[in-house]
Structure 1
Amino acid sequence: MRTLAIGDIHGGLRGLTQIIDRANVNSEDSLIFLGDYVDGWSESAQVIQYLIELSKTNTCVFIKGNHDVWCEQWLASGIINDVWFEHGGKETIESYDAFSKDQKLMHLHFFEVMPLYHLDAENRLFVHAGFTSMKGVESELHKENFYFDRTLWEMALTMDKNIDQSSVLYPNRLKHYSEIYIGHTPTINFSEDQPMNCGNVWNVDTGATFTGKLSAIDIDTKEVFQSNRVMGLYPDELGRNKK
């Protein structure tokens, strides 16, 4: 039995199915998705449908990301957030053209029940972006931080690798958890195409929405599985993904 943490998908169904195949995922594997399933490539609605079906055969946790919040709001109200529309929402709306009202309602429910974070039995935290409370996620006053915050990752990036987690110099915000797994900030921003580890924080967003790959990591062995560069799987698509 394995537990895999999977980074931001952003409508790249072809990358998702590729990584499921390359990791030889079977029904005994648990899968923790770190959010941002939609917006970017052309198959956002198809990604959600695939994940709904996958949850019938595997134990899955679907963390909510900021793009998922925007998509949920659109499915619930029909109101189009201008920022969302310019950052992948247009492609997501188009991906729903062939979906019925009942299917859209099923997807809306899928978004509505997503947790903002997950804690496992080994005190490992899974969250899309981060949190700011020094007391941990249970004390976070602003829930938006779970899917928008970048300060946790920025702090982890600046840490001295020689400082042990038991040290008084280790950031208190990180001490609450044995490990923290996040997405949201692509590692390709730091010239890395693999998941990055800083302190006890693992960033699994390897830039699938832009020029990077989709990644999954076995949280026990730290073995990494990756798709091809997702942009190569959608060669006919242009736009924001070509950054």
Structure 2
Amino acid sequence: MGRILVIGDIHGGLKALIQLVKRAEIQPADKLIFLGDYVDGWSDSANVVSYLIELAKQNTCIFLRGNHDDLTHRWLKTGELNDQWLQHGGQTSIDAYRQFSNKEKQEHIEFFEQTVNYYVDKEDRLFVHAGFTNQKGPEAEYTPIPFYWDRTLWEMALCLDPQIDQQEEHYPKRLTLFKEIYIGHTPVTRIGRSKPFQAANVINMDTGAAFKGKLSLMDINTKEVFQSDEVWTLYPEEEGRN
């Protein structure tokens, strides 16, 4: 049996991802769960997707869909442009795909279409890019938008008094539905953290790879963490984009 490894938001940082694969000594028996946002950020956005497609040929991989993946997929498939997307990393993905053939782009469209909104394992652990809002669980959501964009789950976990027992009547219902919840989307660097951070039973794996932070990977059974260098140091010529 291999390890179960969860990986935070990559944002085009292929060099950081390759570092993690080496530092964690990933083997074919390891199961890899990616929390989304593979693109929009550093210049290797399209190359990250190509790398993941190849990685899935030797490892069991679960690919979650992030908000940036959703937007990039829409652009690749229909040409849809969103001004806010362009201002928050979308242009870097457009630039990254200039050297890709139509066939390669189609392979990436198929990759994005096969990503999932959330994943629950046999140990009752939820993996989702951003969060969910329905108190009955993600399967009861009326729209997939919260899976990509919700921050209220993380904000609630951060504000929760750790002394409150989960059996209390008014304990947040969403936090009682799963043993653990793994998310990305909101960099923990915003609260002064540089490693994956847990609040209540929510573990945030986004350690700011899109900005001045590192890319992180965790063995979810042992909680051992592996990190890349600060991603901007791997792309020094692009530092000014932040």
**TM score, norm. by length of structure 2:** 0.97
Q: What is the number of residues matched between the two proteins? A: 241
User: 1:3 maps to what in 2?
Assistant: 4
Residue 160 of structure 1, CA deviation: 1.4
Report the Cα distance in structure 2 between the residues aligned to 1:222 and 1:159, rounded to whole angstroms: 22
Moved over 6 A (4+): none
Report the Cα distance in structure 1 between the residues aligned to 2:57 and 2:117, rounded to whole angstroms: 21
SS in 1 for 2:10: coil
Residues 232 and 239 in structure 2, CA contact (< 8 A), matched pair in contact too: no
Report the Cα distance in structure 2 between the residues aligned to 1:134 and 1:2, rounded to whole angstroms: 31
Report matched runs for 1:1-243 at 5 Å: 1-240=2-241, 242=242
Report the Cα distance in structure 2 between the residues aligned to 1:184 and 1:207, rounded to whole angstroms: 9
Residue 79 of structure 1, CA deviation: 2.5
Report the Cα distance in structure 1 between the residues aligned to 2:38 and 2:27, rounded to whole angstroms: 21
Identity of aligned residues (%): 56
The runs of 5 or more residues in structure 2 that have no matched partner are none
Counterpart residue type for residue 161 of structure 1? P
Report the Cα distance in structure 1 between the residues aligned to 2:82 and 2:153, rounded to whole angstroms: 26
SS in 2 for 1:97: helix
Moved more, 4-13 or 166-175: 166-175
Residue 239 of structure 1, CA deviation: 4.3
SS in 1 for 2:236: coil
Residues 185 and 206 in structure 2, CA contact (< 8 A), matched pair in contact too: yes
Moved more, 159-168 or 139-148: 159-168
Counterpart residue type for residue 132 of structure 1? T
Counterpart residue type for residue 11 of structure 1? G
SS in 1 for 2:134: coil
Counterpart residue type for residue 61 of structure 2? C
Report the Cα distance in structure 2 between the residues aligned to 1:101 and 1:238, rounded to whole angstroms: 30
Report the Cα distance in structure 2 between the residues aligned to 1:78 and 1:58, rounded to whole angstroms: 32
**TM score, norm. by length of structure 1:** 0.97
Residues 34 and 126 in structure 1, CA contact (< 8 A), matched pair in contact too: yes
The runs of 5 or more residues in structure 1 that have no matched partner are none
Report the Cα distance in structure 1 between the residues aligned to 2:36 and 2:110, rounded to whole angstroms: 15
SS in 2 for 1:188: helix
Residue 169 of structure 1, CA deviation: 4.1
Residues 12 and 44 in structure 1, CA contact (< 8 A), matched pair in contact too: yes
State the superposition RMSD in angstroms.
1.0
Residues 163 and 169 in structure 1, CA contact (< 8 A), matched pair in contact too: no
